[in-house]
Homo-oligomer: A and B are copies of this chain.
Amino acid sequence: MKINDQEIRLKTTLRLEDGDHKRCFGPGVAALLEEIQEQQSLRAAAANMGMAYSKAWRIIRTAEEAFGCKLLDSTIGGRHGGGAELTEAAERILTAYRACQAEVNAFAQEKFQSGFAFLQGD
């Protein structure tokens, strides 16, 4: 939306939190899972995202503990010798998150356009 001669944009972030208010799934885990799909390796995915392997591993573990299911399957061989691929559960969660995010974002953009119209330049 054009406000004060510049484009002001609304960004919507969806995060899941566990019973202790600990973040367990959000944009970071989703991006990491997509990169693992691409690279078929947790190590390569982390490196590509400029993330420490230990951090990537921790992010995955936190989500696994929250959901109570494995997100990664180990694979033998692969580009980096011994890789990883998403479990069926991980694929379903990722798909559900992306769908939810897309729908919520589209809705939010509409509400933003109408709710903030009073700030809009000509």
Binding site for B on A (CB under 8 A): 3-19, 24, 66-69, 92-93, 96-97, 99-100, 103-104, 107-108, 111-112, 115-116, 118-119
Contacts of A97 in B (CB 8 A): 115
Number of chain copies forming the complex: 2
A3's closest neighbor in chain B, by CB? B67
Known: A6-B19, A12-B12. A119 touches B93 (CB 8 A): yes
State whether A14 touches B10 (Cβ < 8 A): yes
Residue in contact with A66 in the complex, picked from B8, B69, B96, CB distance below 8 Å: B8
Provide the main secondary structure of the chain A interface: mixed
State whether A17 touches B6 (Cβ < 8 A): no
- How many Å lie between the Cα of A44 and that of B47 in the bound state? 45
Known: A13-B13, A96-B118, A111-B103. A68 touches B8 (CB 8 A): no
Contacts of A112 in B (CB 8 A): 14, 100
State whether A108 touches B118 (Cβ < 8 A): no
State whether B4 touches A66 (Cβ < 8 A): yes
Residue in contact with A115 in the complex, picked from B68, B99, B107, CB distance below 8 Å: B99
